[in-house]
């Protein structure tokens, strides 16, 4: 009887594992065969979590100011006797007031001018196409370009003009869809702000709860290892993102001052593009410079040329002086791995991946490096990479 029980238990386990594998394979096949529908359904369900995603992002960014005010207010003797909870609330209040003031400045002064610049640019596109066509005809008459080249360029410009005129009829539904999505995003951001306040108000409680869960799942040694990795991730991301944001703001201010001094067309719009794209490591200056040069070129080719020189000088200043001063050696990886991380992050996560790809890769790289070096030390082998050059 015991033999039969063991026999039944053994084959029941095999049957259950077989069923799970077959069912998982069928499910995987169905998902892959209708991947677009699956992603659409998943996105629809995930959209309900957008306020929490926004809340986490807002809380993470405001936390930089929160820590700054905690550090600065802690130096005031009269505030050292304040209860930690009240001290935390005071720092949080100042952090949100400063954040709200910065957002107000952007909405009140910068955003309207950005919209005006974009609207003016869109209105002038047909004129730019027409002037480009006339300029090509002038070149073909004076410089004697090959007829095939002239015909090809004229056809492309005509196609562009027809495309703009045909899509002009669709501007109303596109504008309505944009307004709807904007209103929904604003509502999600509003909810995100409320959620971020709760997150930061109970930050210590959330951290303690997370640690409690980790210790309940893993043994003490592995739990401490997980917590150490999370701390390392926080350090890497906070240093990198905080440093890049500060670096981009400095470059944005310098760009605005210089472009205003030389009376560059679309100064505010171009400065905004340069500031935002500069957050992206390595490719940021190129991503921001290309559309900016195109925008300025249609207004003035000479100014576009000077813009390239100005941006080149600013990026040299950023790469050799400002960036190293702010970021230091926070990455700790070579340019090859930075390029690899940006391309891989952009492929999987789009624009967000271009920004977080590098710190995420640095985290993974540091973990793998630590594991490799520990195994080498256990075998009595050197950990320096150069030691293996001649082996």
Give 142-201 pLDDT, tens digit per residue: 555 566 666 666 666 666 666 655 555 555 565 556 556 666 678 888 899 999 999 999
Nearest to 337 by CA among 314, 366, 375: 366
Degrees, nearest 5: CA angle 312-316-321:
155
Q: What is the DSSP letter of 318?
A: I
CB-side exposure of 176: number of CA atoms within 13 Å?
A: 4
pLDDT at 5 over 60: no
CA distance 322 to 307: 20
Rg (CA), the chain: 28
Asked if residue 64 belongs to a domain, the reply is: yes
Considering the entire predicted model, what is its pTM? 0.71
Asked if residue 367 belongs to a domain, the reply is: no
pLDDT at 26: 76
Contact 347, 353 (CB under 8 A): yes
pLDDT at 3 over 50: no
**More confident position, 378 or 144:** 378
pLDDT at 36: 63
CA distance 98 to 119: 30
pLDDT at 25 over 80: no
Residue-wise pLDDT tens digits, 43-92: 666 777 888 888 998 999 899 899 888 888 888 887 777 788 888 889 99
Residue 10 confidence class, pLDDT cut points 50, 70, 90 = low
What's the total number of domains in the chain? 1
Continuous H helices in 74-202: 84-105, 111-142, 147-168, 171-201
Continuous H helices in the chain: 2-33, 35-46, 50-73, 84-105, 111-142, 147-168, 171-201, 203-217, 220-261, 267-277, 284-299, 301-317, 323-327, 335-378
pLDDT at 133: 64
Which residue range(s) make up the domain with 155? 54-111+140-217
Asked if residue 97 belongs to a domain, the reply is: yes
Residue 226: φ, ψ to 5°: -65, -45
339 Cα distance to chain centroid: 15
Average pLDDT, integer, range 101-108: 87
Asked if residue 23 belongs to a domain, the reply is: no
pLDDT at 169: 53
**Average pLDDT value over all residues in the chain:** 79
- From first CA to last CA, the distance across the chain in angstroms is 62
- Hey, how many other C-beta atoms are within 10 angstroms of the C-beta on 17? 10
Asked if residue 38 belongs to a domain, the reply is: no
Residue 94 confidence class, pLDDT cut points 50, 70, 90 = very high
Separation in Å, CA 249 to CA 36, 139, 279: 38, 42, 9
Three-state DSSP at 251 gives helix
Q: Given the structure tokens 């009595």, which residue do they identify? A: 380
Residue-wise pLDDT tens digits, 274-326: 998 888 877 778 888 888 888 888 788 888 899 999 999 988 888 778 877 77
Nearest to 230 by CA among 243, 245, 215, 244: 215
Asked if residue 149 belongs to a domain, the reply is: yes
Asked if residue 65 belongs to a domain, the reply is: yes
CA distance 138 to 146: 13
Asked if residue 310 belongs to a domain, the reply is: no
């Amino acid at each position: 009887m015991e033999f039969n029980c063991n026999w039944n238990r053994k084959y029941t386990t095999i049957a259950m594992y077989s069923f799970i594998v077959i069912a998982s394979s069928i499910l995987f096949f169905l998902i892959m065969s209708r991947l677009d529908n699956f992603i659409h359904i998943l996105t629809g369900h995930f959209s309900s979590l957008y306020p929490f995603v926004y809340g986490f992002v807002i809380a993470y960014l405001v936390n930089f100011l929160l820590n700054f005010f905690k550090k600065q207010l802690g130096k005031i003797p009269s505030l050292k006797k304040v209860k930690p909870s009240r001290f935390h609330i005071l720092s949080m209040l100042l952090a949100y007031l400063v954040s709200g003031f910065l957002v107000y400045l952007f909405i009140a002064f910068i955003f309207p001018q950005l919209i005006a610049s974009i609207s003016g640019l869109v209105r002038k596109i047909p004129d730019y196409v027409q002037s480009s066509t006339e300029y090509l005809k002038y070149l073909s008459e004076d410089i004697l370009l090959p007829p095939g080249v002239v015909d090809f360029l004229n056809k492309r410009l005509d196609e562009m003009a027809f495309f703009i005129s045909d899509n002009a009829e669709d501007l109303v539904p596109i504008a309505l869809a944009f307004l709807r999505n904007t209103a929904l995003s604003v509502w999600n951001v509003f909810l995100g702000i409320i959620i971020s306040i709760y997150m930061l108000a109970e930050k210590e409680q959330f951290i303690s709860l997370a640690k409690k869960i980790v210790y309940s799942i893993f043994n003490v040694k592995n739990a401490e290892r997980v917590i150490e990795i999370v701390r390392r991730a926080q350090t890497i991301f906070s240093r990198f993102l905080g440093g890049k944001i500060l670096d981009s703001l400095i470059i944005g201010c310098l760009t605005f001052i210089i472009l205003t001094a030389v009376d560059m067309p679309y100064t505010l719009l171009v400065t905004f593009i340069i500031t935002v794209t500069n957050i992206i490591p390595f490719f940021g200056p190129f991503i921001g410079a290309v559309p900016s040069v195109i925008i300025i070129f249609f207004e003035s080719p000479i100014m576009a040329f000077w813009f390239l020189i100005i941006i080149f000088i600013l990026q040299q200043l950023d790469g050799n002086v400002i960036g190293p001063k702010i970021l230091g050696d926070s990455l700790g990886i070579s340019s090859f791995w930075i390029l690899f991380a940006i391309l891989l992050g952009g492929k999987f996560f789009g624009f967000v991946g271009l920004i977080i790809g590098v710190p995420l890769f640095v985290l993974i790289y540091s973990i793998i490096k630590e594991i490799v070096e520990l195994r080498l030390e256990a075998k009595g082998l050197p950990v320096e990479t150069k030691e293996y050059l001649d082996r």
